[in-house]
């Protein structure tokens, strides 16, 4: 099953309860935190609700490997101690649905930096379809993740 990377890019202060509950389901508490979720109809429904505070898209194996190496944490501060080749093979099998993130012992939430060179031209208050930042990105989520890792 295809995996989606969901990044919280706007705060939920002043938003309605449905948006706050949707963010809690994915575990997105902090700004610029990222979660990996399945591309299922249930998750698509939640993403439609929280669309105005997150950006999401399909993650590829190269970006997932880089995310796990740089931002993957076993506990609060302990990094993954695996070889890069093992991480690459794990990320490919994870995207195919054969393995889970819990098999590595890693949390599903990754804390990221704000993107280098900022967001798109119109900023965080405009949807991605209108050259803004939030909403569905498709494969372009990998470019954003590279700048945030």
Dump pLDDT digits (tens) for 91-114: 899 888 888 888 888 888 999 999
Cα separations in angstroms, 50 against 46, 77, 130, 139? 6, 29, 18, 19
pLDDT confidence of residue 119: 87
Q: Give the containing element (helix H, strand E) for 36.
A: strand 33-38
Q: For 1-12, what is the HEC assignment? A: CCEEEEEECCCC
> In the β-sheet with 3-8, what is the strand arrangement from edge to edge?
109-111, 33-38, 3-8, 54-58, 135-136
**Is the per-residue pLDDT at 2 higher than 80?**
yes
CB 15 within 8 A of CB 126: no
What residue spans define the domains of the chain? Answer: 3-60+102-144
3-state helix, strand, coil split of the chain in percent (to 5) is: 40, 15, 40
Q: Is the pLDDT of residue 44 over 90?
A: yes
What is the pLDDT confidence band of residue 7, given thresholds at 50, 70 and 90?
A: very high
pLDDT band at 38 (very low <50, low <70, confident <90, very high): very high
Average pLDDT over residues 5-18: 94
Whether 71 has a pLDDT exceeding 80, the answer reads: yes
CATH number for region 3-60+102-144 = 3.30.1390.20
- Say which residue, 51 or 101, is predicted with more confidence: 51
Alpha helices in the chain (DSSP H): 17-26, 41-49, 61-71, 84-96, 141-148
């Amino acid at each position: 099953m295809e995996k989606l990377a969901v990044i919280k890019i706007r705060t939920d202060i002043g938003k309605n309860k449905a948006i706050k509950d949707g963010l809690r389901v994915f575990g997105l508490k902090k700004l610029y935190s990222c979660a990996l979720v399945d591309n299922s109809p249930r998750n698509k429904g939640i993403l439609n609700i929280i669309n105005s505070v997150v950006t999401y898209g399909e993650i590829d194996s190269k970006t997932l490997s880089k995310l796990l190496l740089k931002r993957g944490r076993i506990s609060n501060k302990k990094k993954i101690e695996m070889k890069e080749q093992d991480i690459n093979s794990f990320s490919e099998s994870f995207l195919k649905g054969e393995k889970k993130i819990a098999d590595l012992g890693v949390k599903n939430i990754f804390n990221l930096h704000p993107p280098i060179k900022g967001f798109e031209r119109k900023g965080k208050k405009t949807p991605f379809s209108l050259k803004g930042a939030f909403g569905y990105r498709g494969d372009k989520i990998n470019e954003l993740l590279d700048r945030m890792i």
